Amino acid sequence: MTSLYEEVRGDQPGEVPVRRVSIRVNGVNRTADIEPRLLLAHFIRQGLRLTGTHVGCDTTNCGACTVLLDGKPAKSCTVLAVQADGHDVMTVEGMATASELDPIQEGFKDEHGLQCGFCTPGMMLSAKALLEENPNPTEDEIRWALSGNLCRCTGYQNIVKAVLWAAEKMRAQAGK
């Protein structure tokens, strides 16, 4: 994985700094030799071929690239992969099991929480972190928690409904 980026300056291989990292992605330990400048988003997308993490603005504004780093939302376009060494990363691919969608994914499906889908992985992971912390959020709390994730399609209304739907389902499941 050392050569994910183009050789812009024609450096000799020996001049390229390399670090061995071990990052737990969706519960699986991934060990790789990477350049320190490799961004976590690129490690995930190009390195691991997990393309559910989207890169939208590439300038830390949109939140499309959101992953959970040790359970907390982080913009993976603005974290170095070396910084995740020894840490836990969850991408959208880690949400569903082989047979079952995560209630948040179900909520987005049922309540039409997406149109083009570009913002959706980031939205769902921010929602997941919110519901871990606060299983019964108000609409305002949802809007606040998702305010770092931008959507150009939905107008947010159905995204909020989707999260309310998921929260209710998760509370019902926990109550059983």
Partner 1 sequence: MYPSRFNYESPKTIEEAIALLTKGNGEAKILAGGMSLIPMMKLRFASPEMLVDINNIPNLNYHRVDADGTFHIGALCRHSDLEKSSILAQHQPTLAATAPLVADPIVRNRGTFVGSVCHADPQGDWASAMIALDGMIVAQGPKGRRTIAVRDFVTGPFQNVLASNEIAIEAIIPATTGTRFGGYLKLERRIGDFATAGVAVALELSGSSVIRAGIGLTGVGSSTVNATDAAQSLVGSPLTSEAIERAADLAAQAAQPRSDHRGSAAYKKQVVRTFVARILTEINSTKTKAA
| Positions in the binding site for partner 1 (CB under 8 A) | 5, 8-9, 11, 16-17, 19, 35-39, 42, 58-61, 63, 66, 72-75, 77-80, 82-83, 126, 144-145, 147-149
Beta 66-69 vs 88-90: how paired, if at all?
A: antiparallel
* Binding-site member from 3, 61, 138, 157 for ligand FAD (CB under 6 A): 61
The smaller minimum CB distance to ligand FES, of residues 136 and 157, is found at 157
Cα separation, 54 vs 62, in Å, equals 10
Closest CA to 170 of 141, 128, 124: 128
The least CB distance from residue 138 to ligand FES, in Å, is 22
Residues 20-79 that bind ligand FES (CB under 6 A): 55-58, 60-65, 75, 77
**Tokens linked to 100:** 């079952």
Cα separation, 84 vs 58, in Å, equals 19
The least CB distance from residue 8 to partner 1, in Å, is 8
